[in-house]
Amino acid sequence: MTAVLATVSSIDIAIFSFVILLTVLIFFSFFLYGVWLDRLPNSKSPYSRQPLSFGYDLSYQASENTLRYLYNLYQYDNRIFDLKRAAVCRETGRIFPNAITWYGKIQVDWTFLNKRHPGHYVSWGSLSDEQQLSVLNSHESLEGFQTEFSSPAPNPKSIEAKYAHAYPGPLYVDINTYTLLGWKLVPGTDLEVLIVQKPTHIMTLSFKGD
């Protein structure tokens, strides 16, 4: 009987030791994972190639002006967003919504365009005069968008530095739907937000070669 009790006691001790060891290993793994996450670099701005800042660092007035501007648009595609989860390009003032990961890092790449509104986008400056006129005629107005100084490279990723720093930022066109996606200035600030504008008239001119 004593031998049986001793055996059971040894098994209990072994199980208890194993549980303690497993618990320590799990906590240690989480610690190492946390250290690894903390060392991950924040993304750089697609435009300036410089580190982005956090939206929660914006001044109260700048935040208020941004949210008021979006609210006053009264547009579903351009509704307000949580600035605390946004990132800001310090060189251009462009705001990227939903850029903060669950572990508190800034993550922004060129997929931000399609995340903002799905489409097949090309630079406004890459369109021919005829194509630009077709897009223009499909919208009530292009006021506030950058139509004077735009990259001739169709791919948004291929933008040259001189166009990347233009004020306001680049305008993109969905070649299938004529939807516009472009940066507009927030009144009273040096900030810019990415605005979606859908056509009010559908034109039939095709974008050959795209």
CB 173 within 8 A of CB 180: yes
Q: Is the dihedral of CA 180, 142, 191, 92 positive or negative?
A: positive
| pLDDT of the residue at 34 | 47
Backbone angles phi, psi at 200, to 5 degrees: -100, -20
Mean pLDDT for all residues in the chain:
85
Average pLDDT over residues 106-132: 95
Arithmetic mean of pLDDT, 143-169: 95
pLDDT of residue 203: 57
pLDDT of residue 103: 85
pLDDT at residue 161 greater than cutoff 90: yes
Residue in 77, 180, 166 with CA at minimum distance from that of residue 122 = 180
pLDDT computed for residue 37 by the predictor? 42
Taking the C-alpha atoms of residue 46 and residue 61, their distance in angstroms, rounded to an integer, is 26
* Band of pLDDT at residue 126, cut at 50, 70 and 90: very high
> Is 170 in contact with 157 (CB distance < 8 Å)?
no
Question: Does residue 67 have a pLDDT over 60?
Answer: yes
pLDDT of 33: 41
Reported as a single tens digit per residue, the pLDDT across 4-48 is 445 556 666 666 565 665 566 555 454 444 443 445 467 899 999
pLDDT of 140 above 60: yes
Mean pLDDT of the region 74-89: 95
Please report the pLDDT score of residue 84 as a whole number.
94
Question: According to the model, what pLDDT value does residue 43 have?
Answer: 83
**CA–CA separation, 107 vs 167, rounded Å?**
24
* Mean pLDDT across 88-108: 94
DSSP string, 11-65: HHHHHHHHHHHHHHHHHHHHHHHHHHHHHSPPPBPTTT-SBEEEGGGS-HHHHHH
Instruction: Answer whether 123's CB lies under 8 Å from 169's CB.
Output: no
Contact in structure between 117 and 77 (CB atoms under 8 Å): yes
**pTM attached to this predicted model:** 0.78
